[in-house]
Amino acid sequence: MEALHRDDPLRVGAYSVLARLDAEAELGSPERLFIVRGGDGDTLIARLPRPDTDPTRWAIEAEGARRLSVPGFLGVREVGGGPAELPWCTAPYVPALPLPAALRAHGGPLPGPVVQALGAALARTLATAHAQGVTHAGLSPAAVLLTADGPRLSCFGAVRAAAPDGEHRSGLPGLDSGSLAPEQAAGGRPRPPGDVYALGAVLAYAATGHTVPERDELPGFLREPVTACLSRDSARRPRAQQLFPHPEPAAHAATVLDTATPSPIPLPASVVVALAHQSAQVLAAELPVPAHRIDR
């Protein structure tokens, strides 16, 4: 949780903006995340496109996310915006750290058991989405939000929002080049193998601090799956449900018995402390009135 920047909005729709969730994570993300509060005291996470991304395409993906119900995706409760303001969407607030912020809180890469549990949880999420015919097309370290209840995926549709199919996407703002599958970078339609490529990059980042490590930098249990995920040939990548133990519950189409809550993963004490600190800050937060915005 960070103080607002000079050019940040004070309001998003009917909500007052309390703080940024994490500014550094936005470097590899197509969107900005804010903690906002409604008139009834309800606290939410609001997502807005970056100023250098296409707001129309971003809004289309936000509306698409609102219609989905995939366990492990950051749910979209409301989509808004119009001619006079940027599009935005909201999700229920839970204390959350983007993966880069979690590594900063921990002081470096996450422990092996945490990375393994994170990989299994994300593989289950992607397997569920793919079984429903949904490609996330936005997975990167910045898109993974760690919570006490398990990881949630934001940035749905970032690749589709960046440029239409057929246009090169390499170097476009808001896309993490290390997480972008080669076929998507070249303008190909996002498909499940691209999500698997991004999953490999995310787990490499969690274990080493960067998305394109040398094979020997990876812990032993990750070398084979991450190398397979990062294959430049999409046909050689495994499917999400093949990657980690026991992904079967997510490998079928969702039913009314499925929950929208991801499974918890073990978190380092440093990350748990950071989540608790954020929660306390939000509870104590008052609506900010930056000096440069006070009416005179």
Kindly state whether residues 81 and 103 are assigned to the same domain: no
Average pLDDT, the chain: 88
Q: CATH no. for residue 145? A: 1.10.510.10
Residue 161 has pLDDT above 80, yes or no: yes
Q: Are residues 95 and 105 in contact, defined by beta-carbon separation less than 8 angstroms?
A: no
Tell me the mean pLDDT in the region 151-158: 96
What is the value of pTM for the model shown?
Answer: 0.89
Kindly state whether residues 120 and 34 are assigned to the same domain: no
Kindly state whether residues 27 and 103 are assigned to the same domain: no
Kindly state whether residues 107 and 253 are assigned to the same domain: yes
Residue 106 domain boundaries: 97-269
Kindly state whether residues 81 and 182 are assigned to the same domain: no
Kindly state whether residues 74 and 198 are assigned to the same domain: no
Question: What span, in angstroms and rounded, lies between the C-alpha atoms of 264 and 202?
Answer: 18
Q: Is 196 domain-assigned?
A: yes
Helices (H), the chain: 55-66, 99-106, 112-131, 158-162, 182-185, 192-208, 220-229, 269-284
Between residues 49 and 24, which one has the greater pLDDT? 49
Type of residue numbered 172: L
pLDDT (tens digit, 9 = 90+) per residue, 241-288?
999 765 444 443 333 333 345 678 999 999 999 999 999 999 888 765
Kindly state whether residues 234 and 124 are assigned to the same domain: yes
Kindly state whether residues 80 and 167 are assigned to the same domain: no
Polymer length in residues for the chain: 296
